[in-house]
Chain A
């Protein structure tokens, strides 16, 4: 073996095998076996990913071509993997968090019937497989296969309980909204093929080949790629599917929101960073859309009462932050936030799953309260997750969010101010969530209160691991102004982004400014947390929302707007095409031809009467006619 990285193909292959075994054996395998296989393959992938991580850490970047995938004329698209620092980070996140979610699922989904249990794990493994394909692909086409794969798996898993109609509808919504973005992605892909004749990253992302493109072309391609990313990563205007995706089982939400799918857009833009750096206008749009999404989703999260919905809007908001970082050219900050977000969002979702489990399926926070007495581990880990996402100094979220805010400040102080506002909103709604759920007195039924219990070990152990990661995960990226040379993540990722950083104008704020910014945001966030704590721990807001709160509770009526502007007209157009164009015009033409032939034949039948006399009469008349013609026209 020339290169130890030559066996990286086992990383995606193992989850695929797990999917096939569990999918085919779902009726014969026991739940224990299914859980063991499902989680085991991911653990094996994780071990391989760790090993790959240490390889690329030593600068050992690797591309492997396995077989020619598409060969048409001059276009050659091989089935190839590229393993570098960026994909290694994602590999660790996907397989590491994915493994914890699998372990958690073995307990969470234990009440399902065996074949559904097997189906669930098959889908979950397929999801991990698709996501691995997405991040390992060495060209846009392989990436696109994974890109569509996670879309498919999200559809399958969101609609896992397909017997409930609204769950299927949520799955459809996710799928269709993703398609909208995918179309833009595909067009960008075709443009790249058209202009450069290749889709391989290492061939596209060189200065020499990118200089073949005009500024307008780069702008168009990057914008289209970004539209693709808005679909997958739930940004304005394509974000409304993500909150509806809560219909799926809670571990699925954790997997979609933390480790896979929604980070695909970030990954794609980070992967294409050089292309984006050459399109400053697109970067500005990304930053604006990012901050707008972050604020919009954060305001909606303020007034949601479903525990998972709050977390869903929180994800949308945090993804907005990541796009803000990308748009500001702070690529490392975006990747850093993906990583820390993966830790604490997985923790929060799994924690909420533990709560829902204990509450017997109840998701409404207004019927919870005082759970800290009954669920000590869940309570503590959830609190740590809230502290991390709120950005309390010392927790992982603080470092990544601070880096994003610093990047935004370097681009524009307005972006920084809006970003800070978003961070305060985040702290507020997270502690509203925490205080309402875990503090105060229990507001559910007596039966539920009797049933309350801490979840089993398969649920609590992942929570504990994720809580530890949420706390300490930030220390791989301690900013320069706090400790010199402590940003190991930035050093690690430097080879990926060095060309972009050379291209982008350097915004180096001096250290005292950065200290000031970090101090300001920390103080404000802590104050917000305390306010939220005091406000909601004793007296949660149970009254129905009114006025502006009602607008927020109804998500700014964006869904209604989309319904009125897009869905209804499309449905009406469909009805029109179906009822009028199809039934009247198309069917009418087809049936009309038939009817015409039948009518004509009925009329012609009178000529074939079988009456000899009439035949002869015809004959004589014909002869007379011929004579007349001869007589008058021959002249």
Chain B
């Protein structure tokens, strides 16, 4: 399968994520859109590493570092989501809302 398909799919996923982050007010959906963007990047990394492995198959480690990056991103994203969700829970307890536009009180 040509690499263009992967890239197009990743771009679409990323664009959907960006538009979701920019337009939605619900903090959880914003989070999900961020995950979508991360995953589109992960998809690209995996696709490129696979291509790399085919092109330079002689080297023992060829293409494995891209997949390692993907693992790192997953771990960091999981940690981020756990912290972010905790903040959102605390926020909901205090103001009974998870609308991100409601959270601009610090400027006053």
Contacts and interface: CB of A to CB of B under 8 A. Distances in A.
B100 interface: yes
Interface of A: 608-613, 616-617, 620
Nearest to B99: A612
Contacts of B58: none
Contact of B105 (A610, A612, A620): A610
Nearest to A623: B18
Contacts of B22: 613, 616-617, 620
A610 B103 contact: yes
A213 B23 CA distance: 92
Interface string B48-66: 0000000000000000000
A609 B107 contact: yes
Report the interface size class on chain B: 10 to 19
B104 interface: yes
Give the secondary structure class of A's interface: helix
Contacts of A617: 22
B4 interface: no
A387 B88 CA distance: 113
Contact of A613 (B101, B105, B106, B107): B101
A616 B104 contact: no
Interface string B2-31: 000000000000000010011101000010
A612 B101 CA distance: 6
Nearest to B19: A620
Contacts of B105: 610
A616 to B, nearest CB: 6
A601 to B, nearest CB: 13
Contacts of A620: 18, 22
16 contacts: A608-B107, A609-B104, A609-B107, A610-B103, A610-B104, A610-B106, A610-B107, A611-B101, A612-B101, A612-B103, A612-B104, A613-B22, A613-B100, A616-B21, A616-B22, A617-B22
A613 B22 CA distance: 6
A620 B104 CA distance: 20
Contacts of B21: 616
A323 B107 CA distance: 82
B100 A612 contact: yes
A609 B100 CA distance: 12
Interface string B70-108: 000000000000000000000000000000110111110
B35 to A, nearest CB: 15
**Max chain B C-beta neighbours (<10 A), residue from A608, A610, A611, A620:** A610
B14 to A, nearest CB: 11
Contacts of A611: 101, 104
Given A609-B104, A610-B104, A612-B30, 8 more contacts: A610-B105, A610-B107, A611-B104, A612-B100, A613-B22, A616-B22, A620-B18, A620-B22
A616 B105 CA distance: 18
A331 B21 CA distance: 104
Contacts of B30: 612
A124 B105 CA distance: 75
Nearest to A608: B107
A613 B104 CA distance: 11
A611 B106 CA distance: 11
A411 B25 CA distance: 109
A616 B25 CA distance: 12
A626 to B, nearest CB: 15
Contacts of A613: 22-23, 25, 100-101
A620 B37 CA distance: 13
The 10 tightest CB contacts between A and B, nearest first, are: A610-B104, A612-B100, A610-B107, A616-B21, A611-B104, A611-B101, A617-B22, A616-B22, A608-B107, A610-B106
A130 B21 CA distance: 89
A567 to B, nearest CB: 60
B12 to A, nearest CB: 16
A612 B33 CA distance: 14
A612 B25 CA distance: 9
A422 B92 CA distance: 108
A426 B69 CA distance: 116
A616 B33 CA distance: 13
B19 to A, nearest CB: 10
A284 to B, nearest CB: 84
A454 to B, nearest CB: 90
A511 to B, nearest CB: 107
Contacts of B104: 609-612
Nearest to B106: A610
**Max chain A C-beta neighbours (<10 A), residue from B18, B103, B105:** B18
Contacts of B107: 608-610
B103 to A, nearest CB: 7
Contacts of B101: 611-613
Contacts of A616: 21-22
A616 B21 CA distance: 8
Contacts of B100: 612-613
Nearest to B21: A616
Contacts of B106: 610
Contacts of B25: 613
Contacts of A609: 104, 107
Contacts of B103: 610, 612
Nearest to A612: B100
**Max chain B C-beta neighbours (<10 A), residue from A608, A611, A613, A620:** A613
Nearest to B108: A610
A610 B101 CA distance: 8
Nearest to B104: A610
Nearest to A617: B22
Nearest to B24: A613
A620 B100 CA distance: 17
B48 to A, nearest CB: 19
Contacts of A612: 30, 100-101, 103-104
A613 B18 CA distance: 11
A604 to B, nearest CB: 12
A612 B104 CA distance: 8
A613 B25 CA distance: 8
